[in-house]
Amino acid sequence: MRKKIVILLVIVAIFYIAVGALLLLNIQMMESPDILVEIEVTEINSEEVVLHTIINVGNPNSFDIIARNLEIAITTPDGYEVANVLIEGGKIGSNKNQTFIEDVEIAFNGHSPERLISKISGEVGANILFIEKTIPLKVGVVTSIENLLNDLAAPIIDATINIDDITTDNIDISAEITAYNPNAFDMYLTNISTEIETDTGEKVGSLEVTNGVITGLQYTDLEASGSLLLKAFNAKKLFINLEGMAGVNIAGFEKNLPLDITAIVNIPDLEEILLPKENPTILSIKVDGKLSVKGFLSEIELIVNNTFKVDLVLRNTTIKLYIAGGDNQKLLGETNIEEEIVIDAGNFKNVSSEIIVPFSKILSANLLSADWLLISVSAYITVKGIDPAVYLQIQGYQDIHILT
């Protein structure tokens, strides 16, 4: 009996030794895991860059392994370490994959970030009974963000020109410039020069734009002032060409970008300039009517008061004389002043004309029984030296009974 027990123990020992040998052989032949690393820039702004890191570990072995002590160290080309992150590992089943995900926030602190070198280290191991084996894990990945840095979007600008003062030489202007920054980081505008050109490429003005910060993904108003030549009113379109430098701060790294932006701007409204409500161009009429040998004579005096610092011009001036009674009007006569009427800056000018209504028309129109004489003056007013003009019309009534 004793001999049988000894034999049984020997058989069990031999079995365990064989199993242990097989396990030792199996674990010693442990294959290295398959590792796939993907790093993507998911966010970039003035404060930080976010790298979305995916580490996929595949276990080709017939037994479970454990990934541990995973570490990501990211450096710039000059060796500056911008991030060092530990990733919690875990068990990877036999012939299965395990994915480890980490968002890494980095700041460059002035170091050049065109290429980021990510070194991923750690170890994978197996522990079977009393047998343990580990394999060091080392992977290097280079992430280029140079294209992102070189593909920055220029600000989008919209400008409106306002007239501050107008003189014989030029127009003092201010501009409301709204700039939209389509990037996620702030842009710093410096050394800005701005020219205003017509659709034919002729320079007709300039602006001085104050340096400023355009906040990322927001609209920012910039102050600007300058001058505009009078002939700018002759253009069909005006363009503002803005040149300068835009400094950007990307997660602590500063870079300067050249700016060259063109935008369409409004041509100032001539009517708002010449006929403002608060300071209108004063146009008045005086009429003296009487009977003469030739008929009814209306002597008309047109008075234009130019309150501006620039010469004004009246073109295509037409004076019409009506009789009016109730809601009815009848044209008696009219006269046209073909030559331009120039009114010097800061002065007024009297222009005289007359309309003669023949007796035959007086009788047919029943002039003496009418209630009013209506005098209408129409013209195109503009600044001397430019083509566009604003239509202007005034009317005045006179009691016809005073004339009789």
DSSP characters over 148-191: HHHTPPPPEEEEEEEEEEEBSSEEEEEEEEEEE--SSS-EEEEE
In this structure, what are the phi and psi dihedrals at residue 111, rounded to the nearest 5 degrees?
Answer: -90, 145
Q: Tell me the percentage of the chain whose pLDDT exceeds 70.
A: 86
Beta-bridge partners for 176: 160, 223
In this structure, what are the phi and psi dihedrals at residue 385, rounded to the nearest 5 degrees?
Answer: 105, -5
Which own/partner contact pairs does 269-278 have at CB distance under 8 Å and 24+ positions apart?
Answer: 270/233, 270/382, 270/383, 270/388, 270/389, 270/390, 271/390, 272/163, 273/163, 273/166, 274/308, 274/312, 274/381, 274/382, 274/383, 274/390, 275/381, 275/390, 275/392
Label residue 128 by pLDDT band (50, 70, 90): low
| Residue range 152-268 in CATH 2.60.40 | yes
Q: Where are the domains of the chain?
A: 31-149, 152-268, 274-403
- At 78-96, the pLDDT tens digits run 888 988 998 888 888 888 9
Q: Closest Cα partner for 37 from 124, 125, 102, 115? A: 102
| Amino acid identity, position 379 | A
Average pLDDT, the chain: 82
Q: What pLDDT sits at residue 314? A: 93
Q: Which residue has the higher pLDDT, 308 or 149?
A: 308
* pTM, full prediction: 0.65
What is the topology classification, in CATH, of domain 31-149? Immunoglobulin-like (2.60.40)
Q: Closest Cα partner for 329 from 379, 297, 378, 375? A: 375
Q: Do domains 152-268 and 274-403 have the same CATH topology?
A: yes
- At 10-42, the pLDDT tens digits run 555 554 554 454 444 444 556 778 888 888 888
The owner of tokens 């009674």 is 325
Residue 124 has pLDDT above 60, yes or no: yes
Average pLDDT on 368-384 reads 83
| Amino acid identity, position 246 | A
Q: Closest Cα partner for 380 from 235, 232, 270? A: 270
- Cα(99)–Cα(62) distance, rounded to whole angstroms? 19
- Cα(78)–Cα(197) distance, rounded to whole angstroms? 46
Give 309's DSSP letter: B
What is the topology classification, in CATH, of domain 274-403? Immunoglobulin-like (2.60.40)
